[in-house]
Structure 1
């Protein structure tokens, strides 16, 4: 199961804030209880938002290309 790191800590390696840790839930339950880790959201929710489209009308490069 995947967990989001809320506070830096040393487990099987060093985990910084914002890292994702893959571990068995029973092995890290004490860290979840203390607020060091939280269960990661499903991958669908972790996707980045689509890029914003440029809605501004751009001027033509020259008068002839109107």
Structure 2
């Protein structure tokens, strides 16, 4: 049986949403810990995840606006 390495749009969107959610959690934890380096790393990850989502037409900003 041949398995496809293709990922469906729904799976991709779910993975992006999870990446954004995790980055937001890490940013919040870094801010609470007052760890400037961890804040910078987490902010970069969040920015990258949001950029990737936008490039593919996904609105992750609205999804996370009511979280936290």
TM-score for both structures, normalised by structure 1:
0.23
Q: Identify the structure with the greater strand proportion.
A: 1
* TM-score normalised per structure 2: 0.22
**Which structure features the higher share of helix residues?**
2
Q: Which has the larger radius of gyration?
A: 1
